[in-house]
Amino acid sequence: QDLKVQATITELWFNFDHTFVVRIGLEVCEGRALLTGAVDDPKVRADAVRLAWKAYGVKEVINEIQVTAEGGPLMIARDTWITTQLLSRITFDGTILAINYNIETVAGTVYLIGIAQNIDELDRVMAHTREITYVRKIISHVRVKGAP
């Protein structure tokens, strides 16, 4: 269902403005759509959120799109490096089910969404994130299994 929701949002964005799919990140977990990215126009941010809500199966839209003039190739490279480092660390940590986490990084801010098996697992993910160079902030939208 999440893959279908993600595909629908991507299609809505592409049909509205094909650049959305490049400028805005999208992760979907349990019907919760996490929108990330850096855009220079608040209207782009609003349009992306409005369109995301139109997808059947969306229960929540988490709008973490930043409106900023910052950016450029160096920032994109650092963000990609951060995401890759974190994904590698949690994948090779035998106490973490890495497949349950989606990671997006924008301007040094790491956004996490997914399902932690327990609070200890989430704490380990957060600790790994804090250890990575260039991480400015961590925003977690991770749900702990069994928690409301």
Express each pLDDT in 8-59 by its tens digit. 999 999 999 999 999 999 999 999 999 999 898 999 999 999 999 999 999 9
45/131 Cα distance (integer angstroms): 30
Question: Which amino acid does the sequence have at 98?
Answer: A
Say what angle helices 42-53 and 2-16 make with each other, to 10 degrees: 140
- Which residues lie closer than 8 Å to 136 by C-beta, 6 or more apart? 107, 108, 109
pTM, 2 dp: 0.87
Query: Each residue of 64-90: pLDDT tens digit?
Result: 999 987 777 888 899 999 999 999 999
Please state the length of the chain: 148
Query: Each residue of 101-127: pLDDT tens digit?
Result: 999 999 999 999 999 999 999 999 999
103/85 Cα distance (integer angstroms): 11
Pair 86, 128: CB distance under 8 Å: yes
Pair 75, 107: CB distance under 8 Å: yes
**Percent composition of the chain: helix, strand, coil (DSSP 3-state, to 5):** 45, 30, 25
